[in-house]
Amino acid sequence: MKNIFLFSITFVLLTHTTSFTQAQEHSSEVNSTVPELSEFHEVIYPIWHTAYPEKDIAMLKEMLSEVNKGAEKIYSAELPGILRDKKEEWDEGVNKFRASVDRYNVAAEGNEEDLLSSAEELHSNFEMLVRIIRPVTKEVDEFHKVLYMIYHHYWPNKDQEEFSQAVDDLQLRAEELNNCVLPNWIAEKADIIKEQSQKLFNSTNTLKELKDNSANDSEINNAIESVHIDYMALEALFDD
């Protein structure tokens, strides 16, 4: 009887250990992350949030070795099994990212404008890789595309025609975003996302009203910053 009991205990322990080991083996397959991208974020963050806006050319050049080191890891990164259906899109994104890294290397030996432009392209293509494996929603993405052009191009360059059309488009995108159906994986945050979406909708409407009423540059600039802050707060909710 004692031997039967000991055998039963041993069988249960072995079964539990085997199941645990198998779970560990497959955990990386169902984890839709690419560690190499997370590592490169530590490189691109100071480039995009410090060197680029401050036009710190020396810092952009100093970051070159880190860019190359991190990029090499991304080139050889493998997608987890759960993302296998995204491999073709991922490979295309990596090729674009590689081209922007090559351009960054060349620009580091050239003029300042080329280096700033290549830093922007590097950041953009890195972001696209992140979105391939972790998309937000179509509505958020469409809003971001328009806001990006306003924030980084149309308004800084005082391209009034493009700016005016883009703000009109942004207001429509904000309405779509505010009424979008959230995917199931983020449903638990539905209330807080809805609240932030409404804030973004309101700040976007304020920007459109100021634009339509020919407000002064300072008012419009502040309104754009408000929209940008509200958007970043919304996108962050999907990342937590």
By C-alpha distance, which of 180, 194, 179 is closest to 234?
194
User: 176: which residues sit within 8 A by CB, 6+ positions away?
Assistant: 139, 142, 143
With bands split at pLDDT 50, 70 and 90, how would you rate the model's confidence at 135? low
The domain boundary, picked from 100, 117, 134, lies at 134
Looking at residue 42, its pLDDT comes to: 96
Looking at residue 24, its pLDDT comes to: 44
Helix (H) or strand (E) holding 72: helix 64-75
Does 69 fall in a domain?
yes
Does 192 fall in a domain?
yes
> Mean of the per-residue pLDDT values for the chain?
87
- Residue 146: strand, helix, or coil: helix
Best mean pLDDT range from 26-35, 52-61, 178-187: 52-61
Residue 207: domain span: 136-240
* Residue-wise pLDDT tens digits, 149-161: 999 889 999 999 9
| 237 contacts 189 by C-beta, under 8 angstroms | yes
Does 8 fall in a domain?
no
- The reply to whether 119 and 140 lie within a common domain is no
The domain boundary, picked from 94, 111, 134, lies at 134
Exposed/middle/buried for residue 237 (C-beta within 10 Å: 0-12, 13-18, 19+) = middle
Does 12 fall in a domain?
no
The string of DSSP letters for 210-228 reads: HHHTT--HHHHHHHHHHHH
* Residue-wise pLDDT tens digits, 167-210: 999 999 999 999 998 888 888 999 999 999 999 999 999 999 99
CATH for 49: 1.20.120
Is pTM beyond 0.95? Reply is no
Helices (H), 112-216: 112-133, 138-149, 160-178, 190-212
* Residue-wise pLDDT tens digits, 89-133: 899 999 999 999 999 999 999 999 999 999 999 999 999 999 888
Separation between Cα atoms, residue 140 and residue 135, nearest integer Å: 9
User: 35: which residues sit within 8 A by CB, 6+ positions away?
Assistant: 77
The domain boundary, picked from 84, 117, 134, lies at 134
| Interval 80-95 mean pLDDT | 85
Domains: count for the chain: 2
Does 22 fall in a domain?
no
- The reply to whether 65 and 90 lie within a common domain is yes
